[in-house]
Structure 1
Amino acid sequence: MDLVCGPASPLPETHQRYRLVAHIGSGGQAEVYRAVRVTGGVSSAPMTVKVFRVDPRRPLADELRSWDKGDAVLMDLNNRGVTGICRRSDGFYGPPPHRPGERPHGDAVPYQVYEYLHGLNLREYVAAKGQWSGPRVNALTVLRTLAGVLRELHFPQLGGATPVLHMDIKPSNVMVLQSSGEVRVIDFTGARYWRESEITQVSYTPEAGGPEAFGGARAVSPAYDVHGFGAVAYFLVTGAYPRVESAPGPYGESSAPPWSTLRRHPMLEKTTRLRDHLHAPVADRPGERPDTRELITWTEKLADLVRAYGVSDTGVDWHQPGEAQTSPRREGAAASARVTATAALSATRVENLRRDEPAPVNLQRSESSSPNGAHPNSTTPIRGRASVPPPRPPRADTGVIPVDPTRPPEPPPPSPWERVGEDPRTLKLGWEYSGVGGAFAFVCWGIWAASSGGDLVSQLIAFIVVLVVAAGVFGLSRLIGRLVLVQRMGRVRRTARGAHAAAGVFLAIAGVAYLNQTPWVVDLFTWIKGLF
């Protein structure tokens, strides 16, 4: 390849500022190249140049404004010092790439220049299992890094900074560096400040995007990025995306929703606790997903479940990073084959992103390959020139426990809470309702006890009985919710607000009952009522 590009300028040499040396990828919005900057005949270290294509179906001004919004967000995030993301080096408008020495032709298009990340994205890494010469990817490191990035985006620590939505979190936008195994989040083209005026269209990938994308800008929130986080976690566990295209009715009627539906993965159907945990961040309703600040804790529990149940080997390690073991390197010709295959992948791959390239939902949905129900883990084969020997059985220290596909794995002994299907951490969510009711009941009891002049001990015991009954109301409400919401409707409960509200109402009624037994309060109420 022998092409150059650069910003529009009166100086002719600026049109040849960057020399494009290799084509890295192709998608619906841009072409991506490996490049060097040339100054005075000296070439810089490799960098990445993204050349955007203008969508002819949209006004040119709208396309350029859209690009500028994403570019401004990425530059701002770099200036904030957000770690774990790609770094922007330059951005400009310039004529299309052309041969050195030739006069450029055509209208100016947007360019972005980034640091060059030598490695594979997660989709490529899982597909290239056995051909990766770098360190074995640690799933906990990936998810912790991604959770940290989202926390910085959604809850910026810098005073006055505006929250940001990435809006296109998926496996192909998470890079693994070959030299160190570190993780970088890439492709902020669709990223926007979380303001309604900034979000004019929503990037939607059918296999990884949340259904709220079809609700417009007002429906999109940090929970949309949490859904993308869940898609990455699901992919690391199963090697498949969490959603598949909605199937039409038996007679071809379009009764299915416009968004993709959750996949029924055979492995997860045998491990319901792992399935329910993985489904939480990709729930259809944004309010049922974990908060961004809860993703680290959610990740730790996921790792415990994966290690306990065992999953098919997707090439990642689920041990704690300090305990992780890299997969044994093959010696001799086999090791040489792996290095050659990885080099071939890095040097010659032209990534076809059309299958999971995000598309604005108000235009059309991006193309997607038909789901394969018989082989949900299947991925696009990676072409290589090396012959890789058959894989060895997984070792006990790789973070993956082999599972007999014909028999469900033995689950770990459930805790008392898990026997009744409860997560004790959810019980405190909504405590303010029962707290207010309890405070009101206590004040009313105090007024009654002070006015009646009876035995304080017996009166205190009576109030304790009221609290015990309120606890019973709380437990009964949770039981009814489990029977109706969980078992009947198949929903996942994330809080205990309903049960706390029921207990709070009961305590408020008890407080009113205490006031009704206080003569001067009744007389005061009657006098006030008589005024009207």
Structure 2
Amino acid sequence: MDLVCGPASPLPETHQRYRLVAHIGSGGQAEVYRAVRVTGGVSSAPMTVKVFRVDPRRPLADELRSWDKGDAVLMDLNNRGVTGICRRSDGFYGPPPHRPGEAPRGDAVPYQVYEYLHGLNLREYVASRGQWSGPRVNALSVLRTLAGVLRELHFPQLGGATPVLHMDIKPSNVMVLQNSGEVRVIDFTGARYWREAEITQVSYTPEAGGPEAFGGARAVSPAYDVHGFGAVAYFLVTGAYPRVESAAGPYGESSAPPWSTLRRHPMLEKTTRLRDHLHAPVADQPGERPDTRDLLAWTEKLAELVRAYGVQDTGCDWNEPGEARTSPRRATTAASARVNATAAVSATRVEGPMGRTDPPPVDLRRGESPNGQPVRGRASVPPPRPARADTGVMPIDPTHPSEPPPPPWQQTSEDPRTLKLGWEYSGVGGAFAFVCWGIWAASSGGDLLSQLIAFIVVLVVAGGVFGLSRLIGRLVLVQRMGRVRHTARGAHAAAGVFLAIAGIAYLRQTPWVVDVFTWIQGLF
């Protein structure tokens, strides 16, 4: 391959700023190349150049704005210092790639330039792990890194920073670096700031995307990225995606929803605790998924369950990174080589030979004691337990009950930051009630302390109305309808209406206010 590209500029050499040396792959929106930057005849280290395709079915301005949103988000995340993601080096508009020395032709298209990541994505790694020359992937490190990235995106530590949704978390967007085994989250084309005006379309992969994508842009929240995280975890455990397109539901329903349904994996059907844990982040209803801040704890529980129950080998380790590994042979012999014998003469405990993978029963009646006399007794060898190989994974064996699994993971409450959204409704109601109470208190001339206590009781009841409204909303909107609550406007509105009614009640107990109201009514 010998193509060049560069930004539109009056200088002719800028059209040949980047030399494309190899085609890496194609996506739904772009072609990806390995490239070098050429300056004065000197080539840089390898870089990744993404050339975006313009969808002719959409207005050009919408396409360019969509690309600009994702580019701005990635640049912002790099400037925030978010680790575990790809790094953007350049972004520009330029003519399509062309041969060196030729004049560029065609309309300008968007380009993005990234650091070159030498490795495979998780989907490629699992498919070709037999040919992988790098270190074996540690699933715990992958999920911990991914959980940390999502926490930085959804709950930025930098003051004033806007939360970000990646919106396309899946195994093919998690890169494994060949030399170090570290991972990087890539493809922020569909990433958006979590603001209603920013999200106009949703990236959806049937095998890994959450069902709320069918509810439109307003239905998408951090829970959508959590679903993608769950898809990655499911893939690392089973080697398959969690959802499958089917005309019937996973348990034989006559009709299926428009989104892909959860897969019934044979291995997981035998280990229901592990299955239920893996299904939590990929639940159909976003409100039933774990919070982003709980993903690290969820990952630790997953590792415990995997080590307790055992899974098929997908090429991933589930032991702690850096933990000393035990060879498969030692793991097998250590579990199976204990032999206890009770001798009739001495009644001493006798240990059998070590080092046999599957030793036969030992009959000590054929041996001799140290003094040369026959020894009567019988030794029995317990059936060997499955070996824990150096991957931290125990093969499934139904004949050997596994150790009791850890208690199930419990989901925490909703994001408390949503409680303040909509405060203006309860604030206006509270201000109105306070003014009305002041008019009533000044007119009645009673004990001010008792009147103040009465108003505080009204505020407490308003708080109860707010809490009851939130509870009803959770039962109806979240658990039954599967919607995600981004604000607390409904609860604030209910509390505000209650406070307004209380204020009107104070005015009706003020004689001169009632007289004025009656006089006004008489005019009409």
- The Cα of 1:396 is off from its aligned counterpart by 2.0
For the residues of structure 1 that align with 2:102 and 2:346, how far apart are their CA atoms? 30
Conserved? CA contact 2:337–2:356, under 8 Å: no
For the residues of structure 2 that align with 1:299 and 1:186, how far apart are their CA atoms? 21
Conserved? CA contact 1:474–1:502, under 8 Å: yes
> Secondary structure of 1:487's partner?
helix
Q: Which moved more, 1:239-248 or 1:395-404?
A: 395-404
Q: Which moved more, 1:114-123 or 1:334-343?
A: 334-343
Q: Give per-residue Cα distances to partners, 1:241-297, cap 9 Å, x unaligned.
A: 000113159999993211111111111011011011101000111111000000000
Structure 1 residues 418, 504: closer, same or farther in 2, change over 3 A?
Answer: farther
Q: Give per-residue Cα distances to partners, 1:198-219, cap 9 Å, x unaligned.
A: 0000000000000001111111
> Secondary structure of 2:7's partner?
coil
> Secondary structure of 1:359's partner?
coil
Conserved? CA contact 1:35–1:49, under 8 Å: yes
Q: Give per-residue Cα distances to partners, 1:472-495, cap 9 Å, x unaligned.
A: 999999999999999999999999
Conserved? CA contact 2:289–2:411, under 8 Å: no
Structure 1 residues 417, 184: closer, same or farther in 2, change over 3 A?
Answer: closer
For the residues of structure 1 that align with 2:516 and 2:425, how far apart are their CA atoms? 28
Conserved? CA contact 1:223–1:286, under 8 Å: yes
Sequence identity percentage: 91
Structure 1 residues 446, 210: closer, same or farther in 2, change over 3 A?
Answer: same
Structure 1 residues 45, 422: closer, same or farther in 2, change over 3 A?
Answer: closer
Conserved? CA contact 2:342–2:379, under 8 Å: no
Q: Which moved more, 1:231-240 or 1:473-482?
A: 473-482
Task: Name which structure has the greater RCO, CA cutoff 8 Å, separation 6+.
Answer: 1
For the residues of structure 1 that align with 2:29 and 2:488, how far apart are their CA atoms? 44
Superposed, 1:439-454 pairs within 5 Å as none
For the residues of structure 2 that align with 1:357 and 1:92, how far apart are their CA atoms? 65
Structure 1 residues 499, 219: closer, same or farther in 2, change over 3 A?
Answer: closer
Structure 1 residues 311, 425: closer, same or farther in 2, change over 3 A?
Answer: farther
> Secondary structure of 2:479's partner?
helix
> Gaps spanning 5+ residues in structure 1: where?
374-380
For the residues of structure 2 that align with 1:101 and 1:383, how far apart are their CA atoms? 94
Q: Which moved more, 1:447-456 or 1:392-401?
A: 447-456
For the residues of structure 2 that align with 1:227 and 1:49, how far apart are their CA atoms? 29
Structure 1 residues 360, 474: closer, same or farther in 2, change over 3 A?
Answer: farther
For the residues of structure 2 that align with 1:383 and 1:143, how far apart are their CA atoms? 57
TM-score of the superposed pair, with normalisation by structure 2: 0.67
Conserved? CA contact 2:478–2:484, under 8 Å: yes
For the residues of structure 2 that align with 1:432 and 1:283, how far apart are their CA atoms? 34
RMSD: 17.0
> Gaps spanning 5+ residues in structure 2: where?
none
Superposed, 1:337-352 pairs within 5 Å as none
For the residues of structure 2 that align with 1:216 and 1:506, how far apart are their CA atoms? 33
For the residues of structure 1 that align with 2:186 and 2:360, how far apart are their CA atoms? 17
For the residues of structure 2 that align with 1:387 and 1:293, how far apart are their CA atoms? 51
Structure 1 residues 38, 484: closer, same or farther in 2, change over 3 A?
Answer: closer
Structure 1 residues 18, 520: closer, same or farther in 2, change over 3 A?
Answer: closer
Conserved? CA contact 2:140–2:318, under 8 Å: yes
Q: Give per-residue Cα distances to partners, 1:330-379, cap 9 Å, x unaligned.
A: 99999999999999999999999999999999999999xx9999xxxxxx
Q: Which moved more, 1:118-127 or 1:388-397?
A: 388-397
Q: Which moved more, 1:58-67 or 1:482-491?
A: 482-491
> Secondary structure of 2:91's partner?
strand
For the residues of structure 2 that align with 1:411 and 1:13, how far apart are their CA atoms? 67
Moved over 3 A (4+): 248-255, 324-367, 370-373, 381-395, 404-414, 416-532
Matched, 1:427 2:419: yes
- The Cα of 1:398 is off from its aligned counterpart by 1.5
For the residues of structure 2 that align with 1:453 and 1:210, how far apart are their CA atoms? 61
Q: Which moved more, 1:477-486 or 1:62-71?
A: 477-486
From the CA coordinates, give the structure whose radius of gyration is larger.
2
Structure 1 residues 423, 66: closer, same or farther in 2, change over 3 A?
Answer: closer
Structure 1 residues 195, 506: closer, same or farther in 2, change over 3 A?
Answer: closer
Which residue number corresponds to residue 199 of structure 2? 199
- The Cα of 1:395 is off from its aligned counterpart by 5.9
Conserved? CA contact 1:451–1:518, under 8 Å: yes
For the residues of structure 2 that align with 1:78 and 1:523, how far apart are their CA atoms? 67
Structure 1 residues 74, 523: closer, same or farther in 2, change over 3 A?
Answer: same
- The Cα of 1:404 is off from its aligned counterpart by 3.4
